[in-house]
Chains A and B, each alone.
Chain A
């Protein structure tokens, strides 16, 4: 069974630009979550989508947005990039039911903002 796939693996952008990251979940998983990982803050929750609806959102500014498509694939967008947005962005998928199914992570997109 294929794991969670994130593209691209690396991105270099300039301050003020915008970026779109893509995530394909494990087949059959309906929940997709996004996390930001930095050395100082660790892993921080961005948002979760389930059946194309945002189910939960973390404490990030409105510049961070996402969406989920009918095939459960998800995209995350960051507008007006700032230097502090440099991080590893991780996507995770799960069955998304109430059985506390574990999250399965992709290998992330490393975003560098210059």
Chain B
């Protein structure tokens, strides 16, 4: 069974203080690893898909990387508007089912 573990559970940063969020996974036949952002009262918003080890993707202050066992979401010089819960999920097998981690709640103080 696919498993996803995210750490830390919560992270508090000062504005401009860069950091990384970790996602460890165990899956048989990875088809894709996904990062989502979720704001309170809203559904998850898609950020990135990574398909194979060594792949990297960037969007504004966010950069996602992938190895064979884990993925990192690097946040460079974060701003208060980056405060949200960041979810990692994996897809395997022949269907579109996602297995999610419990998420990392990020708070960025001005």
Give the size range of B's interface with the partner: 20 to 34
* Chain A interface, number of residues (Cβ within 8 angstroms): 27
Interface check A113, CB cutoff 8 A: no
In the complex, A43 Cα to B89 Cα: how many Å? Answer: 10
* Among candidates B34, B41, B42, B95, residue contacting A102 with C-beta atoms closer than 8 Å: B34
- Residues of chain A within 8 A (CB-CB) of B94 are 98
Interface check B100, CB cutoff 8 A: yes
- Residues of chain A within 8 A (CB-CB) of B96 are 31, 33, 48, 50, 55-56, 94, 96, 101, 103
Interface contact B46-A102, CB-CB below 8 Å: yes
Interface contact B101-A42, CB-CB below 8 Å: yes
* Among candidates B31, B45, B51, B97, residue contacting A45 with C-beta atoms closer than 8 Å: B97
Interface check A104, CB cutoff 8 A: yes
Interface contact A100-B99, CB-CB below 8 Å: no
- Residues of chain B within 8 A (CB-CB) of A58 are 97
A33-B96, A48-B95, A90-B44 known; A100+B101 contact, CB < 8 A? no
Interface contact B87-A43, CB-CB below 8 Å: yes
A4-B43, A45-B99 known; 17 new pairs, CB 8 Å cut-off, are A33-B96, A33-B97, A43-B44, A43-B89, A43-B98, A43-B100, A45-B97, A45-B98, A50-B96, A56-B97, A94-B96, A100-B31, A102-B32, A102-B46, A102-B49, A105-B43, A107-B41
Q: Which positions in A face B, CB cutoff 8 Å? A: 4, 31, 33, 35, 42-45, 48, 50, 55-56, 58, 90, 92, 94, 96, 98, 100-108
